[in-house]
Amino acid sequence: MKKIILPLLAIAIGVTSCKKYLDINVDPNSPSTENVTSNLILPGVEMNLATSYGNFFRILGGYYSEQYAHLFGTSNYVDYSQFITSQTRSSGTYTQLNTRVLNNLQTIREKSVATNSWGDNLAATTLRAFTLQALVDAYGETPYSEAWKKDILAPKYDDGDAVYKGILAELDDALSKVSDDTPVIESFLFGKSTSAEWIKFANALKLKILMRMSKVQDVKSQLATLISQNNFPAEDVAWAGIWADETGKANPYYQEEFAAYFGSTQKNVTLNLALSAVMEDSNDARLSAFFDKNKDGKFLGGVSGTNYSTSKLYKAENFNRPAMRYDSPVYLITKSEVEFFLAEYYAKNGSAAVAKTHYDNAITESFLSAGLKASDAQNVITGTYAYNNANYAKLIGIQKWVALSGTNNFEAWCELRRLKYPAFGTVNGAAIYNVANDVFKPELLVPGTLYTPIDVFNTVGNNQLLQRIRYAQSSTNANSNAPAVKPDKEPVFWAK
């Protein structure tokens, strides 16, 4: 027996000393954590934000703000056009924004603080604030104070207003540590640059945050300081000039809705009657910049709530798809939006002339973003929608809604909920299009009004906008601190 036991013992001893033999659990497919620097992280973050915000949020916002209607035949987003929201729809986007965007921005922020790279810190903080604002604007509440901390597995949801205040403070802190010439990480947004452009972007974002809060909270002095600095972007903040006509490389919205890269038959989005009515009424040249003409060379807006599935008259080629191209920019914030905010600020604060200047600038900038000339804006600026301070809310509301229809439909839905213009008219979708008889009467709609979509049952009700999207399934399913889903009619904090 000894003969046997001894060798086995020797083996046993050998085993305990062969940790090295077993120390192989390092993934060869993954670079080591130390080698992944901020400039290797940021491009991936940017493209994830561009995909979530510039695609999913854009489509959803377009339908919820009645800028988009559903194309003939397919039914992928008919529910959006009926102002329906579900926990399932946004789950993937919520996951992508929290994991690939916010969690990785957290890493860049930590790295930049550790190395006093304050330009990088500003860049990461600005994108983080932008993302969080979008989450609040969509969901109303979102995890923030307990989020992206590995040891908190059930982060609580913070009220929208707490998140807004938090990101404002973060932006102020990040801004306080940089000057225009502080070095900054290279990005797809600004290329190789110094902090100047990020500072302007952060200021524009602060303006958007404060203006949203302004209706429910007193932020006058903060707004006054920010506006007096007058350091806003000189160009639209957008991912532009980086796209190629290939799968995985083109504008995300174009890839999913317009390209045939994926064998897609998903042609869903078309111009809404509510939008075409306003734009045709004011002979707005942006209509043909934002939407492609139909086969007759005309514009025919569709009605929310139907896909004309049994229509003999209204086929796909009669409608107008958004004029998206593989290289269309993904806008984060446009000069036009900034000008609209300034117009609104001055209108409320008694400077009608300054307000008019900014209003006119806002519309002109929108024309320029659309690739048109400043002079093309004249008939809008001087026509039905010429500025009139007594009527500022309606004019700004309608024109901002028009301007955003070609650049950022999600913001259009937000501003619609806040400014309440365009307002609902008296005619409803079912009257405009009689599904059973296939009779279409677009002339019933008064330009500059919205209408209750066809087939809005049991959700928001008549003459109501959808006020929020339901919390993502990927959150409520796994988080005992996630609150109960709130009613679709309950406004987010700034829209009350």
Partner 1 sequence: MKQTLLSFFVGSMILTSVAFAQDKKVSGRVTGADGKPLAGVTIAVQGSNLATQTDANGNYSFSVPTGKVIVFRSIGYSDKTLIVKEGQSAFNVTLDNSDNELEEVIVTAMGITRSEKTLGYSATKIGGDELAAARNTNVLSSLAGKVAGVTVNSTGPAPGSASSITIRGYGSMTGSNEPLYVVDGVPLQSTTFNTQGNTIQGGGISAVSSDDIESMTVLKGAAATALYGSRAANGVIVITTKTGKAGNGRNFSIAYNGGIQLRQVSVFPLMQNEFGQGWNGQQTYIENGSWGPRLDGSQQVFGPIWNNQQLFHPYSAQENNAKDFFDIGKSFNNSVSFNGVSEDRKMNYYLSYSNVKDDGIMPTDADSYKRNTIAYRTSYQAADWLKVSSNLNFNTSKTDVAGNYQGTSIIDGLLELPRDISVIDKKDLTNPFNTPEAYFTPYGVTNPYWALANNYNRLNSKQFNGKLQLDIKPIKELNLTYRFGFDHIDYDRKVGTPEINLDDKLIDNDYGYAPSNMNQSGSVAASYGRNYELNHDFLATYDKSFDKFSFTGILGMNLNERYATSMNGTTESLALYEGFWQLSNGATRSVLGESQSKRRLIGLFGDMTFGYNETVFLNLTARNDWSSTLPVEKNHYFYPGATLSWIFTNNLPKNSILNFGKARLAYGKTGNDAGVYQTSARYIQAAAAGYYAGSIAAFPFNNKNSFLLSTQNGSNTLKPEMNQEFEAGVNLKFLNSRIGLDAVYYSRTRTDQIFPLSTDPATGFATIVTNVGNVRNRGIELLLSTTPVKTDKFRWDLDLNLTVNKNKVVSLPEELGGKFQVNSFSAGNDAVYMYAEEGKPLGTFYTYLAQHVDDKNSEHYGKLIVGEDGLPILTPDVQSTGKNIQPKWVGGATTSFSAYGFTLSAALDIREGGYMFSRTKNLMQFTGNGIETMYNDRNPFIIPNSVVDNGSGTFSENNNPIKMSTSGLQNYWNKTGGVDGGQYYLLDRSFRKIRNLSLTYNFPKTWVNSVKLSDIALTAFVNNPFVWTPKSNKFIDPEGSTGGMGLDGQFGELYINPATRIYGFNVSLKF
Give residues 381-440 in contact with partner 1 (rule: CB under 8 A).
435-436
The single-letter code of the amino acid at 460 is: V
Q: What backbone torsions phi and psi does residue 157 show, to the nearest 5 degrees?
A: -85, 140
Q: CB 103 → partner 1: shortest distance, Å?
A: 4
Which residues 171-210 are close enough to bind partner 1 by CB under 8 A?
188
Strand pairing report for 449-450 and 423-424: parallel
- In angstroms, the CA 183 to CA 172 distance is 18
Rank residues 266 and 378 by Cβ distance to partner 1 and give the closer one: 266
- The CB-of-290 to partner 1 minimum distance in angstroms stands at 22
Distance between CA 453 and CA 69 in Å, rounded? 10
Q: In terms of CB distance, is 92 or 166 closer to partner 1?
A: 92
Token code pair at residue 313: 């008259």
Task: With contacts defined by CB under 8 A, name the span among 32-40, 223-231, 370-378, 409-417 that binds partner 1.
Answer: 32-40
The only residue of 1, 114, 234, 390 in contact with partner 1, by rule CB under 8 A:
1
Beta bridge partners of residue 142, listed in sequence order: 158
> Which of 119/305 has CB closer to partner 1?
305
Nearer to partner 1, 153 or 224 (CB): 153
Cβ atoms of 362 and 400 closer than 8 Å: yes
- Candidate ranges 206-214, 390-398, 408-416, 466-474; the one touching partner 1 (CB under 8 A): 466-474
Mark the segment that binds partner 1 (CB under 8 A) among 113-121, 250-258, 370-378, 410-418: 250-258
The Cα–Cα gap between 54 and 57 comes to 6
* Residue 47 makes contact with partner 1 by CB under 8 A: yes
Q: Binder to partner 1 among 248, 296, 350, 390 (CB under 8 A)? A: 248
* Least separation in angstroms between CB 318 and partner 1: 8
Q: Which of 67, 112, 428, 474 binds partner 1 (CB under 8 A)?
A: 474
Residue choice 137, 170, 256, 360 for contact with partner 1 (CB under 8 A):
256
Q: Which stretch binds partner 1 (CB under 8 A): 75-83, 211-219, 343-351, 398-406?
A: 75-83
Which member of 50, 202, 342, 414 binds partner 1 (CB under 8 A)? 50
**Nearer to partner 1 (CB atom), residue 307 or residue 369:** 307
Contact between 42 and partner 1 (CB under 8 A)? Answer: yes
Number of residues that bind partner 1 (CB under 8 A): 120
The answer to whether the CB of 69 falls within 8 A of the CB of 303 is yes
Residue 92 or 386 having the CB closest to partner 1: 92
Assess contact for 431 and 407: CB atoms under 8 A: no
Compute the least distance from the CB of residue 87 to partner 1, in Å.
6
Check residue 328 for interaction with partner 1 (CB under 8 A): no
Among 106, 378, 389, 463, which residue sits at the site for partner 1 (rule: CB under 8 A)? 106
Minimum CB distance to partner 1, residue 300 (Å) = 13
On the question of a cis peptide bond just before residue 422, with omega within 30 degrees of 0, the verdict is yes
- The stretch near partner 1 (CB under 8 A) out of 284-292, 304-312, 357-365, 417-425 is 304-312
Per CB under 8 A, does 247 bind partner 1?
Answer: yes
List the interface residues with partner 1, window 110-169 (CB under 8 A). Answer: 142-143, 146-150, 152-155
87/231 with CB nearer partner 1: 87
Cβ(112)–Cβ(121) under 8 Å? yes
